A and B are shown apart, each in its own frame.
Chain A
């Protein structure tokens, strides 16, 4: 079974630009979560989608948005990029999102904002 696939692996953008990251979950998984990882803040939850609906949202500004398609693939968009948005963005999928359902992560997209 193929794992979680994130594209692209690396991105370099300039302040003020916008970026879209893509995530394909494990086949059959309906829950997709996004996390931002930085050395200072660690892993911070962005949002979670389940069956095309945003089920949970972390404490990030409205510049961060996402969506999920009918095939469970998900995209994350960051508009008006800031230097502080430089981070590793991790996507994870799970079958249901219930307590005992682990998240399975992709390799991440490393975003650098200059």
Chain B
């Protein structure tokens, strides 16, 4: 069974600094996809970035990048130059080839201070 672990319940960062949110996963399937979502207090889940298990390079989307270490089964989200609007819950999720659903971690609350 697939499993996602986010060990940081909360993280604090100052504006303009970079922050790394941790995510480890477990699956026996060699083919899988990893996703990060942001959930502001409004409740909507916003898709941020995707990394496929066979992708050779780490995914990047603007200020978001994914530090993918396949052997360690980790897929950490790096947010560069944090902004106040980045304050939100962040969820790591995975889908493997045996499922079409996403399994989510418990999330990390990020607070960005001025």
Contacts and interface: CB of A to CB of B under 8 A. Distances in A.
Most chain B CB neighbours (cut-off 10 Å) among A88, A90, A99: A99
Interface string B69-107: 000000000000000000000010001110111111111
Contacts of B97: 99
A13 interface: no
Contact of A100 (B42, B52, B99): B52
Interface residues of B, number: 26
Given A56-B100, A100-B50, A100-B52, A107 B107 contact: no
Contacts of B37: 105
- A interface residue count range (under 10 / 10 to 19 / 20 to 34 / 35 or more): 20 to 34
Contacts of B99: 56
A107 B44 contact: yes
Interface in A59-114: 88, 90, 92, 97-100, 102-108, 110
Contact of B35 (A56, A88, A102): A102
Given A43-B91, A105-B44, A48 B101 contact: yes
Contact of A102 (B44, B50, B96): B50
B100 A105 contact: no
Contacts of A104: 47
Nearest to A9: B43
Overall SS of chain A's interface: strand
Contact of A99 (B52, B91, B104): B52
Contacts of A33: 101-102
Contacts of B95: 99
Interface of B: 31-33, 35, 37, 42-47, 50, 52, 91, 95-97, 99-107
